[in-house]
Structure 1
Amino acid sequence: MTKFGYTLMSEQSGPRELVRYAAAAEDAGFDFEVCSDHFTPWLTSQGHSPYAWTVLGAVAQATSSVELMTYVTCPTMRYHPAVVAQQSATLQILSEGRFTLGLGSGENLNEHVIGEGWPSVQVRQLMLQEAIHLIRALHTGDLVTWEGDYFRVDSARIWDVPDQGVPIAVAVSGDSSIDKFSDHADHLIAVQPAAELIEQWDDAHAGDSRKIGQLAICWDPDEKAALERAHDQFRWFGGGWAVNADLPTPAGFEAASQFVRPEDVAETIPCGPDLDKIAASVKEYLDAGFTDVALVQVGDEGQTRFLDEAAGPLLEKLRAL
């Protein structure tokens, strides 16, 4: 059965608001909730970036049945993989088995803040492979001493480990990342409805797996207001992943996105009150083979109204697909 999720977008909302939205999204009928994990928002106008793990701990207590996921955490620079192993084990216990650890190779925007530079994508992927190995070893609850090319642990043990373990999903974007992570991850994360990506993953990955996508939408009764908000908050996406992963600051994203027009945003983000148009965009992911799709309702403004008025009818349309 296809699952539909709600995104706790930490770059556009404060921590208390995110917890409130999480409870409302569960009440509205979403199957799962994903939370972004940034140190810095992409654009200054977004204005937020609370600590995702604290937010998720609170969300685990404010909800009872909805699944939870990081979308995504980078366990290689700002966090040591041993820390992510402890964070995710604790969250799995707090949520009573509802958590999936979503991982990625990171963005310069968040990871440069520790002052250790920004490696090439090839190095970042090798670091992520090693990090996943360590996280899985520590999730056994055994005492681990290990040294690799990028990380070491010395007599490390996670004392509170969940009986059911922690499933791991990894963000991939093409042949290289699929080759590196299909044997390391349980599930796939991707943000484009590319059928060839799903086919390559299924060919390379042993066993069943979820394919978890994400789509930005901007529902509002006023289509003009929706488009203005989407352009203000989400025009940063226009450069594509190859650019976005390497820009270091919101000022860089402001400069890179200065020529992105509202009509450019409208081509990618369905804006306005038309739920059928939103459903048609989601269907592209289903047709490509995704098993899960998380929606991003753009902007803090209007979240409560979206959850109260539009989420239920939209989910009905999506499940009818």
Structure 2
Amino acid sequence: MTSYGYFLASEEFTPDQLIDQARQAEAAGFTALAISDHFHPWNDAQGSSPFVWSVIGALSREVSLPITTLVTCPTVRLHPCVTAQAAATSSVLTQGRFRLGVGTGEALNEHIHGDPWPSFADRADMLEEAVQVMRELFTGEQVSHRGAHYTVDNARLYTCPDSPPPVYVSGFGPKAAALAGRIGDGYVLMGPDEDLIGTFRESGGGDKPVIGGLKVCWGADREQAVRTAHRLWPSEQLPGELAQILPTPAHFEQAAELVTPEQIAGATPCGDDPDEHIAAIQRYVEAGFAEVYIGQIGPDQEAFFDAYATKVLPALVSRLA
């Protein structure tokens, strides 16, 4: 049965706003939280990017919902040893309710040390090795490792959960989906693509969970909601590998000039028609997602949570029943 969580957008909201949204999400009936991990927002209009691990620590004190990073890159900006320590501590703080979603990253966030941005093939190799290192560290044993990309010298995590946090792997193409099937405890996909889900399952994913999400913009004025979504999240409609290779918010702003409000209106649920929102989420259910995370674009959070609590979530649960 599919469950419904709330997606906390670190790129758009301050830490205090994210924590408040998490409280509202729990009260509204959402059953889990996802949170993005960025160094930069996609554009200056979004205007935020707090350190995700600090926010997760605060969330662990404020809500009782499970928390998943969607997603963290454990390969460039942070060494896998440091990511493993952060994930282990997050799991302890949440009493085992934390899952580590990982991916190969975007230049937007990972280029900041000045290193050349690797090809996808190299990034995939780095991610596979990083996951191996993190899983070894999650045992609480002393780890030394000499690999193609990482060296670990007598490292040990002294603060570990009773069970290692599950590692879910993100992938938006067939090679990445196959990697997720091979090394992941689950698969992260931000669109109901049944072909990629099939590749994941055929590559070792079997019946492991598929999770992902979508952005919406609830609002009484649909045209205004479209304008808000277009102003804040045009990057959602950029094609191909642009999201992985553009290095700065300014580059995304330039590329997003090609995205029209009509594209946003056709791809993003906007306005206050519950059926439009339900239909978009239902496509994920039909594709076989175990969890769908919905994120509200813009400032009208209270109206969103009220509408989803009274109109959208009950209808989705009723359909499943």
* TM-score, scaled relative to structure 2: 0.96
> Quick check: 1:218–1:226 contact (8 Å CA) kept in 2?
yes
Structure 1 segments, 4+ long, off by >3 Å, are 308-312
After TM superposition, give the deviation of residue 277 of structure 1 in Å.
0.6
Single out whichever of 6-15 and 194-203 deviates more from structure 2: 194-203
Matches within 5 A, 1:233-312: 233-299=232-298, 301-312=299-310
Q: What's the counterpart of residue 97 of structure 1?
A: 96
- Is 2:229 the counterpart of 1:230? yes
Task: Report matched runs for 1:1-321 at 5 Å.
Answer: 1-64=1-64, 66-205=65-204, 208-299=207-298, 301-321=299-319
SS in 1 for 2:214: strand
Q: 1:310 to 1:175 in 2, by over 3 A?
A: closer
What amino acid maps onto 1:219 in structure 2?
Answer: W
2: distance between equivalents of 1:138 and 1:129? 15
Decide whether aligned partners of structure 1 residues 241 and 57 sit closer, same or farther in structure 2, where only a CA change above 3 A counts: farther
Confirm or deny: 8 A CA contact 1:144 1:157 kept in the other structure.
yes
Q: Single out whichever of 218-227 and 80-89 deviates more from structure 2.
A: 218-227
CA contact under 8 A between 1:129 and 1:181: conserved in structure 2? no
Q: Quick one: distance in 2 between partners of 1:113 and 1:132? A: 22
Task: Give the partner amino acid of 1:6.
Answer: Y
* Farther-moved stretch of structure 1 (102-111 vs 220-229): 220-229
Secondary structure, aligned partner of 1:19: helix
State the secondary structure of the residue aligned to 1:183: helix
CA distance in 1, matches of 2:291, 2:307: 22
**For 1:182 and 1:109, how far apart are their aligned partners in 2?**
26
Q: CA deviation at 1:176?
A: 1.2
Q: Is the Cα–Cα contact under 8 Å of residues 29 and 312 in structure 1 kept in the other structure? A: no
Matched residues in 1 for 2:263 and 2:109: separation?
26
Letter in 1 for 2:134: I
The 8 Å contact of residues 109 and 247 in structure 2, kept in 1 or not, is answered as yes
Shift of 1:22: 0.6
Query: Any idea what the Cα deviations from partners look like across 1:62-90, whole Å, max 9, x if unmatched?
Result: 012x1100000000000100001100000
Cα distance in 1 for residues equivalent to 2:32 and 2:224: 28
Question: Does the CA-based 8 Å contact 1:214-1:293 persist in structure 2?
Answer: yes
* Bigger shift: residues 199-208 or 96-105: 199-208
Q: Gaps (5+ residues) in structure 1?
A: none
Relative to 1, partners in 2 of residues 1:194 and 1:253: Cα closer, same or farther, differing over 3 Å? Answer: same
3-state SS of the aligned residue for 2:235?
Answer: helix
Is the alpha carbon distance of 1:198 and 1:287 closer, same or farther for their aligned partners in structure 2, counting shifts above 3 Å?
A: same
* Pairs aligned (count): 319
Contact 2:170–2:177 (Cα < 8 Å) also in 1: no
> The residue matched to 1:58 in structure 2 has which SS?
helix
Q: Within 2, Cα distance between the matches of 1:302 and 1:288?
A: 29
Q: TM (normalized to structure 1)?
A: 0.96
Separation of aligned partners in 2, 1:193 and 1:174: 13
Deviation at 1:305, TM superposition (A): 2.6
Instruction: Quote the offset at 1:43 in angstroms.
Output: 0.9
Distance 1:137 1:221, change over 3 A: same
Partners in 2 of 1:291 and 1:310 — Cα distance? 19
Quick check: 2:126–2:149 contact (8 Å CA) kept in 1? yes
Distance 2:310 2:91 in 1: 28
In structure 2, list runs of 5 or more residues that go unmatched: none
Residues 91, 99 of structure 1: 8 Å contact kept? yes
Which sits farther off after the overlay, 169-178 or 201-210?
201-210
* Identical columns (%): 40
Partner SS, residue 182 of structure 1:
helix
Task: Name the aligned partner's letter for residue 304 of structure 2.
Answer: F
| 2: CA distance, partners of 1:139 / 1:213 | 25
By how many angstroms is 1:6 displaced?
Answer: 0.4
CA distance in 1, matches of 2:79, 2:207: 29
Which 10-residue stretch deviates more, 225-234 or 236-245? 236-245
Per-residue CA distance 1:283-310 (angstroms, 9 max, x = gap): 11111111111111112x1113312343
Q: What SS does the corresponding residue of 2:38 show, helix, strand or coil? A: coil
SS in 1 for 2:245: coil
What's the C-alpha RMSD, in Å, of the aligned pairs?
Answer: 1.2
